Amino acid sequence: MSIHTTGWPAIGASATALISVITNIYLARKSRSQVLEQAANQFRQAALSLDVQRTSTVRSAATFIAEKRQKWIDELRSDVATHLAESQEYLWKWDAVREQWVTLHNDATIPLDQRTTEANKLLSVFSEKNGAIDRSHQERHHRLRLRLNPSEPLHMELRNILDEIRKIFRDTQASRSRESAIALIKRLSDLVTKADTLTSTILKTEWDRVKQEAAYPAEMIAKIPPPV
């Protein structure tokens, strides 16, 4: 019985080709898997980098806003303190000058025309010296009003008090009687007390916001509406 071997070379060649195809498919799949894995890693790294960048941007923005709010707090505290102290000092000075004017005007030992001249000169000199204080007071009054937010009740209440103080500041210049002067001083004292208490409450509220913005920057940034 004879064995035919003429087909073995063809079978061997086919097997080799098949193995080559299988190997190429395996290598291609492995390469594709590596490429996909590499792409996934790059995506994760990019996403992580983006999150880090976003977090850094949010914290920078929150820090910027917190610093501006802290500056607002410091300036409001300083301006209100100066404003209230200056208001009281100005009224006391006016009251003292008014008393001098009355004393001089009623001094019968001095001729009437001389009394009138000296009394008017007293008021004129005082008004001239305190004109700068009046202008400073008016400027600070408007600066404080512009710094306060009219949409917030506490801020609006403080603005109203400041308006009343400014009105008293003007009324005391026109007042001539001791009774009206005392009434204005008492009214101002009450308003100063209210303004002091109200300002303390506003400052505490704003300071609490600063702490919240520092602790939760993302939540704070999320509340800011986008530009229209």
pLDDT digits (tens, 9 = 90+) for 114-141: 878 887 787 777 777 777 788 889 999 9
Q: Tell me whether residue 108 is in a domain.
A: yes
Those residues whose C-beta lies under 8 Å from the C-beta of residue 168, and which sit 6 or more positions away, are: 87, 91, 184, 187, 188, 191
In the structure, what pLDDT confidence band is assigned to residue 194 with cuts at 50, 70 and 90?
A: very high
Q: Tell me whether residue 87 is in a domain.
A: yes
The pLDDT score that the predictor gives to residue 140 is 94
The pLDDT score that the predictor gives to residue 68 is 84
Q: Tell me whether residue 20 is in a domain.
A: no
Q: Tell me whether residue 12 is in a domain.
A: no
b/e burial code for range 2-24 (CB count within 10 A of at least 16 → b)? eeeeeeeeeeeeeeeeeeeeeee
Q: Tell me whether residue 202 is in a domain.
A: yes
Q: Which residue has the higher pLDDT, 195 or 218?
A: 195
- What average pLDDT score do residues 95-106 get? 76
Q: Are 195 and 86 in contact (CB under 8 A)?
A: no
Domains held by the chain: number: 1
In the structure, what pLDDT confidence band is assigned to residue 102 with cuts at 50, 70 and 90?
A: confident
Q: Tell me whether residue 18 is in a domain.
A: no
- What average pLDDT score do residues 151-162 get? 95
The pLDDT score that the predictor gives to residue 11 is 63
Q: Tell me whether residue 112 is in a domain.
A: yes
Q: What is the overall mean pLDDT for the chain?
A: 79
User: CA-CA distance, 66 to 221, in Å (whole number)?
Assistant: 11
Domain that holds residue 120: 69-222
Q: Tell me whether residue 110 is in a domain.
A: yes
The pLDDT score that the predictor gives to residue 41 is 65
